[in-house]
Chain A
Amino acid sequence: MTTEVKKEVAAQVPAQSWFLPVLLTWVAPGAGYYMLQTPLRGALMGGMSLLMFALGLLMRGAFFEAQTGDMLTTVIYCGGYAANLASGSLYFLAKAFGYNAPDVAGHVVDYGTKFLVGSGLINILAMVDVYEIAARKKS
């Protein structure tokens, strides 16, 4: 009974435009959730993305540069570059402040690079989540 009422109410509420919240989430991780009145979700997702990015910087992880060549090189470097770009303002701020750690051998730097990529992937997850909430595909 209650579920049916909830479904009816959800169907009556028009889906709002998803473009701005998704764009805002890309620019500032977690920010798009505030537009959708889910601030706790936004704080947690933004916080996780920021924490992972900060840990990546502290480990002196390297940013990927788009590179083409054989199949594996293209997938790894272009994919890594796209994931770095997905961090939005975090990536551009780090670049603007002159962060340019070299990709040297060592497990700490290697993990740092993965943390920086992971931060972008978490932000992509957040963008998809924001889209689904805005389009009323998820509550």
Chain B
Amino acid sequence: MPKMALSHFEMAILFSLITSVALGITGKTGKQEQIRYAAYCFGSFTLALFGLGWLMYFGHR
């Protein structure tokens, strides 16, 4: 079985993307609303990723 090796950032983005799609489907009804909610979740995940990343960077200095 091949082994997958991605960076922290790539894996976190992949996780966010899959989770956002699942949350979009189950969280809202109606195609348009589901897409909007999934995009909102993905944006929030990405924002938190960058925010926490910078927080850890400055906390480590």
Q: Which residues on A are within 8 Å of B, measured CB to CB? A: 41, 44-45, 48-49, 51-52, 55, 57-60, 107-108, 111, 114-115, 118, 122, 125-126, 128-129, 138-139
A45 touches B8 (CB 8 A): no
Q: Is A111 a contact partner of B11 (Cβ separation < 8 A)?
A: yes
A48 near B18: Cβ-Cβ < 8 Å = yes
CB distance A115 to B15 under 8 Å? yes
B22 proximity list for chain A (CB < 8 A): 45, 48-49, 122, 125-126
A45 and B5 contacting across the interface, CB-CB below 8 Å:
no
Give the total number of A-B pairs whose CB atoms are below 8 A apart.
57
Interface of B, secondary structure class, is helix
Q: Residues of A contacting B6 with CB < 8 Å? A: 108, 111
Establish whether residues A51 and B18, one from each chain, have CB atoms under 8 Å apart when the complex forms: yes
Please, could you name 16 A-B residue pairs with CB atoms under 8 Å apart, sorted by A? A41-B25, A45-B22, A45-B25, A48-B18, A52-B15, A58-B1, A59-B3, A59-B11, A107-B11, A108-B3, A111-B6, A111-B15, A118-B15, A118-B18, A122-B22, A138-B29
Among B2, B3, B15, B22, which residue has the most Cβ atoms of chain A within 10 A? B22
